[in-house]
């Protein structure tokens, strides 16, 4: 099963992101019901492995925290980019949660990608050459001051993802609550 672990977004923030999905000819905009902040991509895993991941995630100890999305960007150089996303404002608690999730996943013997973690929400994608770099530059300049409402992250979710012709369908397999108060000083 193709799976990932992510934070879902509140409706008010989803609406703010939907407002960014305009003004970039050639982009295929992500469906708002698929907006999320990935903590770990697991790839294709057998059900038994996901059950093991689940048991490690249940034991994870982390505290709820506030988060904000700020600015819009691309990975790499503008002319070579193939997606646009909303960036997560600097958030140490998110980095700590993501590291704990990675540790739990690795404890279940699931290999993870080695690239640097850059938390974001994908807004849209395109094939090479479908979006002109000048238009992308203008879009990014128009939206560089974007800032979402502050929202509370109080849980994260293990998802199964099925790819289809009209996009991915994400199904929640399990949710994990974060504690309201830290158990540590």
Q: Which residue has the tokens 């700590």?
A: 96
Kindly report the number of other CB atoms within 10 A of residue 98's CB atom: 21
- CA neighbor of 180 nearest in space, from 81, 62, 76: 62
pLDDT category at 103 given cuts 50, 70, 90 is very high
Give the angle 73-156-119 at the CA atoms, nearest 5°: 20
Side-chain half-sphere CA neighbours of 89 within 13 A = 14
Dist CA 29 CA 14 (whole Å): 13
- Size of the chain in residues: 185
159 forms beta bridges with 4, 172
pLDDT category at 181 given cuts 50, 70, 90 is low
Residue 38 CB partners (closer than 8 Å, separation 6+): 4, 5, 6, 119
Residue, of 82 and 168, whose pLDDT is higher: 82
Q: What is the pLDDT of residue 166?
A: 67
CB of 68 within 8 A of CB of 147? yes
Q: State the pTM of this model.
A: 0.91
b/e per residue 110-121 (b: at least 16 CB within 10 A): beeeeeeeebbb
According to the 3-state scheme, what is the secondary structure of 64-90?
CEEECEEEEECCCCHHHCCEEEEEECC
Q: What is the pLDDT of residue 163?
A: 78
Q: pLDDT exceeding 90 applies to what percent of the chain?
A: 77
Dist CA 32 CA 10 (whole Å): 11
pLDDT digits (tens, 9 = 90+) for 27-51: 999 999 999 999 999 999 999 999 9
Q: What is the pLDDT of residue 131?
A: 87
Which token pair is 26?
Answer: 């050639």
Q: What is the pLDDT of residue 45?
A: 94
Which token pair is 96?
Answer: 């700590």
């Amino acid at each position: 099963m193709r799976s990932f672990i992510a934070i879902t977004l509140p409706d008010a923030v989803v609406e703010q992101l939907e407002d960014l999905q305009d003004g970039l000819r050639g982009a295929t905009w992500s469906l708002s019901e698929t907006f999320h902040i990935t903590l770990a991509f697991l790839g294709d895993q057998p059900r038994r492995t996901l059950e093991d991941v689940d048991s490690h995630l249940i034991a994870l100890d982390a505290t709820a925290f506030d988060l904000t999305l700020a600015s819009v960007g691309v990975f790499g150089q503008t002319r070579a980019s193939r997606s646009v996303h909303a960036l997560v404002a600097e958030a140490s608690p998110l980095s700590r949660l993501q590291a704990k999730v990675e540790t739990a996943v690795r404890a279940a013997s699931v290999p993870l990608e080695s690239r640097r973690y850059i938390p974001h929400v994908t807004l849209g994608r395109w094939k090479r050459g479908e979006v002109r770099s000048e238009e992308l530059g203008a879009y990014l300049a128009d939206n560089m001051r974007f800032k979402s409402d502050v929202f509370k992250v109080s849980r994260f979710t293990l998802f199964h993802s099925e790819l289809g012709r009209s996009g991915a369908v994400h199904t929640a397999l399990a949710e994990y609550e974060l504690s309201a108060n830290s158990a540590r000083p």
